[in-house]
Amino acid sequence: MFGISQLQVLSLCFRFTKLILILWGIWTTINNGAAALCASECICRNVFDIEIGSTVRVECTRGDMRTIPVDYFDYNIDKVIISAPANRPNYLTIGPIFTQPIPFVNLRELHIINSNVPSIGQYSFWGLRNLRLIKLTDNNLTSINTDNFRGLINLVELHLDYNNIEQMPSETFRHLTALKTLNLSHNQISTLVPRLFRMLAKLTVLDLSDNPLADLNPEVFKDIQHLRIFKCRQCLLRRINTQIYHLVPNLDELDLGENLFKYLTSDEFISLKKLKKLQLDGNQLSVIVDNIFGNNRELRSLTVAHNRLALLAPAALTNLTTLFDLDISHNKIDRFHLQTFGPVVYTLKSINFSGNNLPLNEIAIVLQILPEIQSVGLANMSLQELPPNFFTYNEHLISLDLSWNMISTFPYKLLTKTKYLQKLDLSRNRLKTLGEHDLQRLEAIAHVDLSKNHWLCNQCSASTMIIFMETTVLNSTIRRLKCHSPLKLYGVSFGELRLEHLDQCGSPYEAQLSVIAGLMLLCVAVLATVTTALCCSRRRAAHYYTNEEKRREKTREHEHDHPEELLGQTELGSVATIHAPYHLTTKGS
Ligand SMILES: *[C@@H]1O[C@H](CO)[C@@H](O)[C@H](O)[C@H]1NC(C)=O
Ligand SMILES: *[C@@H]1O[C@H](CO)[C@@H](O)[C@H](O)[C@H]1NC(C)=O
């Protein structure tokens, strides 16, 4: 009639029925808030899932379990979470309980955590063809084998971390042809037998961290060539056969932190052209050699923190023109080659200098050529103060870490120049008090950490802070601070302080001292006036030189608009003498 074919009517009909079914599902779900059938030690919830309709989720997390109460599980069950608090341990075993007499075909996620499971029986998961995720984290598994995983044709994630697995025979995972993520971290695996990962062609994430591997067999990587993320942190590795990298050329994240690497050759990572994130922290590297990342042009994040680096070679960052985040903290670096930073001048957003022996002027010179920088780490450097113009060239600064230093005066002037700062860590310094201006500046910074300072809790030092605590957004920040002195208030938090209970500030003895101090100031003032008068008479003679000086300063300012020009003058020495706008008298002894 109107051109509606039978097929269209049928399809409309079908859609209508589906809608009714969905509505009915939602309706019944709302009506039975709790499932009809539920074991007493568990909580069961009806949920509605667009894909599979009305299902049940079970959580048994109270502990003290000896068996899994499958008899009380709804046939429609979709997700099971079993775990135990530390003081009420579970002692569970897994057999084919989820598959008999008829398998829970809708089961998609199974989490059995911290339950002292000693082994996985044969065919335990047979028939659970919709199972996507198995998480057996924190149990007592010592070995696993092929038959444990039969029938899991759709399993995508398998987490076996925090167990005691020592042995895995060849082809252990051969039935898991859909597996994408395999977590074997925190076990006792000491060797990877040949063909261990056979049939895992889809694997993209492999975590072997915290196993006493000492060496990686390149052969096993032949079966997992689509790997994207590989982690082997704390694997006792001294070197890596670079053949491995050749086999996994799509790797975009590599974590080799906390191993025993002493050196890396300049062609170490040459095969990893797609690498985006590399973690080499916590090794024993003493140098990052020239051109080492020449082929890793997509690298965005690099950490070499906690090594023994004395040097980043002048061409260490060659070709890293997309590097975003660089962490060189906690090494033994005491100077830089300025040209090292040439390739990253326009992309680097975050740099961490913390815990090195760097004098402030070395850092200042590097910061001058990094105009895009948003995050700077300067923790643990024995700093007593920072010059007010330290971040003049870094107007995008958002995050600043000054923790673990010896700063005793709030760096107000410095912070008035960092307009966009949103995160400031001044914890573990020697601040005693904050004045009104300081607090007003802090109000505009979203995340502030001021803990573990030498807060002085008497009336004149703490009262402004208490007022700000009670009336401003700084409430929770100040409330948690703890008094350092006087002794009787040591460890008491600001939240517990009452203004009227604080000591008066000046004792009579202190008053005397202040009179003496006043007199001395007067003397100094008189002296200064006399000196100025004397100087003025000589000024005229020096007039010509002063003008010359100003002219030179102008040319300097222009140079900063083009950091790469500055880099043209490759010798650090010459640059340092041209750019010395800071009077750095602040490095702690
Ligand atoms: C865990 O396994 C080890 C080795 O098989 C065994 O000695 C230990 O008793 C087990 N622990 C528990 C809590 O079952
Ligand atoms: C930097 O990248 C270019 C272009 O890919 C390449 O030709 C050059 O060899 C690389 N430099 C180094 C030191 O590897």
For 248-260, the pLDDT digits (tens) are 999 999 999 999 9
The pLDDT of residue 35 is above 50: no
Specify whether the CB–CB gap between 49 and 25 falls below 8 A: no
Mean pLDDT score, 408-432: 95
Q: How confident is the model at residue 524 (pLDDT cuts 50, 70, 90)?
A: low
Specify whether the CB–CB gap between 364 and 394 falls below 8 A: no
Helix (H/G/I), strand (E/B), else coil: 313: coil
* Rounded Cα distance, 240 and 208, in Å: 14
Distance 540 CA to ligand 2 centre (A): 58
- % pLDDT > 70, the chain: 80
The region of weakest confidence among 22-26, 95-99, 180-184, 288-292 is: 22-26
The pLDDT of residue 180 is above 70: yes
Q: Is 318 in the pocket of ligand 2 (CB under 6 A)?
A: yes
Query: Which residue owns the Cα nearest ligand 1 atom 4?
Result: 142
Specify whether the CB–CB gap between 192 and 216 falls below 8 A: yes
Residue 177: both structure tokens together: 């042809």
Q: Sign of the C-alpha dihedral, residues 220, 225, 231, 237?
A: positive
* Rounded Cα distance, 398 and 373, in Å: 9
The Cα-based distances of 405 to 57, 555, 560 in angstroms read 50, 36, 30
Distance 190 CA to ligand 1 centre (A): 19
Q: How confident is the model at residue 538 (pLDDT cuts 50, 70, 90)?
A: very low
Compute the half-sphere exposure of residue 369: CA atoms within 13 Å on the CB side of its CA.
Answer: 26
> Nearest Cα to 443, choosing from 464, 422, 413?
422
**101-138: per-residue pLDDT in tens?**
788 888 999 999 999 999 998 888 988 889 999 999 99
The pLDDT of residue 532 is above 50: yes
The pLDDT of residue 154 is above 50: yes
β strands within 300-359, DSSP E: 301-303, 311-312, 325-327, 350-352
The Cα-based distances of 65 to 36, 42, 160 in angstroms read 22, 10, 20
Distance 294 CA to ligand 2 centre (A): 5
Specify whether the CB–CB gap between 324 and 296 falls below 8 A: no
* Rounded Cα distance, 101 and 82, in Å: 21
Mean pLDDT score, 151-169: 95
Query: Which residue owns the Cα nearest ligand 2 atom 12?
Result: 294
**pLDDT recorded at residue 584:** 40
Query: Which residue owns the Cα nearest ligand 1 atom 8?
Result: 140
The pLDDT of residue 274 is above 80: yes
Which ligand is located closest to the Cα atom of residue 165? 1
| Tokens 């790469």 belong to residue | 564
Q: Is 266 in the pocket of ligand 2 (CB under 6 A)?
A: no
Distance 298 CA to ligand 2 centre (A): 12
Mean pLDDT score, 283-296: 96
Query: Which residue owns the Cα nearest ligand 1 atom 2?
Result: 140
What are the DSSP calls for 187-208, one per residue? S------TTTTTT-TT--EEE-
**pLDDT recorded at residue 505:** 73
Distance 339 CA to ligand 2 centre (A): 17
- % pLDDT > 90, the chain: 66
Range with the largest mean pLDDT of 217-231, 467-481, 560-574: 217-231
Q: Is 167 in the pocket of ligand 1 (CB under 6 A)?
A: no
The pLDDT of residue 509 is above 60: no
Q: How confident is the model at residue 26 (pLDDT cuts 50, 70, 90)?
A: very low
* Rounded Cα distance, 128 and 154, in Å: 9
Mean pLDDT score, 444-470: 93
**pLDDT recorded at residue 555:** 40
Q: How confident is the model at residue 561 (pLDDT cuts 50, 70, 90)?
A: very low
Mean pLDDT score, 512-525: 56
User: H helices of 316-398, where?
Assistant: 360-368
256-285 exposure pattern, b = at least 16 Cβ within 10 A, e = fewer: bbbbebeebebebbbbbebbbbbbbbbbeb
Q: Which of 268, 269, 295, 344 to mutate to test the pocket of ligand 2 (most atoms within 8 A of CB)?
A: 295
Q: Is 119 in the pocket of ligand 1 (CB under 6 A)?
A: no
Phi first, then psi, for residue 296 (nearest 5°) are: -100, 60
Write down the pTM of the prediction.
0.79
* Rounded Cα distance, 63 and 86, in Å: 8
Residue 221's contacts (CB-CB under 8 Å, 6 or more residues apart) are 197, 227, 244, 247, 248
| Tokens 């149990």 belong to residue | 139
**pLDDT recorded at residue 534:** 52
The region of weakest confidence among 262-266, 340-344, 547-551 is: 547-551
Specify whether the CB–CB gap between 267 and 243 falls below 8 A: no
> Nearest Cα to 378, choosing from 418, 345, 347?
418
**206-246: per-residue pLDDT in tens?**
999 999 999 999 999 999 999 999 999 999 999 999 999 99
**What one-character DSSP code corresponds to residue 247?**
H
Residue 571's contacts (CB-CB under 8 Å, 6 or more residues apart) are none
Distance 256 CA to ligand 1 centre (A): 30
Query: Which residue owns the Cα nearest ligand 1 atom 1?
Result: 140
* Rounded Cα distance, 218 and 246, in Å: 9
Mean pLDDT score, 259-284: 96
> Nearest Cα to 209, choosing from 268, 279, 143, 149?
279
Q: Is 140 in the pocket of ligand 1 (CB under 6 A)?
A: yes
Which ligand is located closest to the Cα atom of residue 297? 2
Phi first, then psi, for residue 559 (nearest 5°) are: -60, -35
H/E run at residue 417: none
* Rounded Cα distance, 394 and 390, in Å: 9
Q: Is 321 in the pocket of ligand 1 (CB under 6 A)?
A: no
Mean pLDDT score, 491-495: 93
